[in-house]
Each structure stands twice: as structure tokens, then as C-alpha cells.
């Protein structure tokens, strides 16, 4: 038996931002990778417990930022009876 080492970028080529991306994009992606990809796909890569978040239309296009932040922190405060768990930890605001 052997264990093959691989990189996230090799396994998830369509969701990893390009190496030329800004630091805020890279930090945001690391947070997403740590906390969200276990339930969501981004460009089809990840886990499909929750909905895909980037296509056909990205959530950042049809959600206003303040409501998106509030939904992530406390989904029930925006949509009653939805199945997403609240995100309790502080994530650094990337702006
Ligand atoms: C334990 C699984 C789980 C985790 C972890 C999770 N989500 Fe979700 N998420 C869901 C589910 C399930 C839904 C669908 C909610 C519903 O409508 O019932 C959802 C819905 C959403 C939506 C609404 C999409 C739409 O417009 O319909 C957004 C945005 C979202 N999640 C973002 C995130 C972000 C960002 C993170 C990480 C901070 C995250 N989620 C972590 C399960 C999860």
C-alpha cells in the first residue's frame, strides 16, 4: 500500500484561484477551503451537501454582501427552515 501526496490545486483545479490572485482572494479561498467546501462545491469541486455556490450564477451576484455575511453567520435569521448550520467562528473581514 502506498500513499500518494498531492496538492489541493491538482485535485481542485477549477476552484483554486490563480497564483497571481490578490492576498485577500487567497485568504478568502483558504477560509472557504477550511470551513465551507466540506458542504459546498465551487465550480463543481467539493461536496454537494449544500448547493453549488458559483454557477450557473455566483452567489456574490445575486446576494447583497451584508445579507450574505448575515446568512453565513446565522442562516435562520435570513431564511427560516433552511438547512445550513450557523458559522460561529469569526472570519476576518477581507475588505
Ligand atoms: C454542514 C454543511 C454546511 C457548511 C459547513 C456550510 N454550508 Fe452553506 N449551505 C448548506 C446547506 C444545506 C445550504 C442550503 C440551505 C437551504 O436552503 O436549506 C447552504 C446554503 C448556503 C448559501 C445560500 C445559497 C443560495 O443562494 O441558495 C450560501 C451563500 C452558503 N451556504 C455559503 C456557505 C459558506 C460561505 C460556508 C462557509 C463559511 C458554508 N456555506 C458552510 C450547508 C453548509
Ligand 1 test: best mutation among 39, 65, 73, 78, most atoms within 8 Å of CB? 39
76 versus 7: the higher-pLDDT residue is 76
Residue 52 has pLDDT above 80, yes or no: yes
For residue 6, the CA-to-ligand 1 centroid distance in Å is: 27
The mean pLDDT value for 8-17 works out to: 89
* DSSP code for 85: P
Residue 10 grid cell: 491538482
Strand residues in 1-95 grouped as ranges (E)? 41-42, 45-46
Name the band, by pLDDT with cuts 50, 70 and 90, for residue 16. Answer: very high
- Output the nine-digit C-alpha cell for 54: 458559483
Q: What is the mean pLDDT of residues 20-45?
A: 93
Q: Which are the contacts of 11, defined by CB distance < 8 A and separation ≥ 6?
A: 45
Check whether the bond before 36 is cis (ω within 30° of 0). no
Whether 93 shows a pLDDT value over 60: the answer reads: no
Instruction: Write down the mean pLDDT value for the chain.
Output: 90
pLDDT band at 95; cut points 50, 70, 90: very low
CA distance 75 to 46: 21
Amino acid at each position: 500500500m502506498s500513499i500518494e501526496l498531492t496538492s489541493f490545486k491538482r485535485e481542485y483545479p477549477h476552484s483554486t484561484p490563480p497564483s497571481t490572485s490578490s492576498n485577500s482572494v487567497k485568504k478568502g479561498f483558504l477560509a472557504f477551503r477550511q470551513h465551507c467546501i466540506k458542504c459546498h462545491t465551487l465550480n463543481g469541486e467539493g461536496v454537494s451537501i449544500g448547493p453549488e455556490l458559483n454557477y450557473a450564477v455566483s452567489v456574490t451576484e445575486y446576494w447583497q454582501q451584508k445579507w450574505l455575511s448575515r446568512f453565513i453567520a446565522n442562516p435562520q435569521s435570513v431564511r427560516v427552515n433552511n438547512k445550513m448550520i450557523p458559522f460561529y467562528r469569526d472570519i476576518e473581514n477581507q475588505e
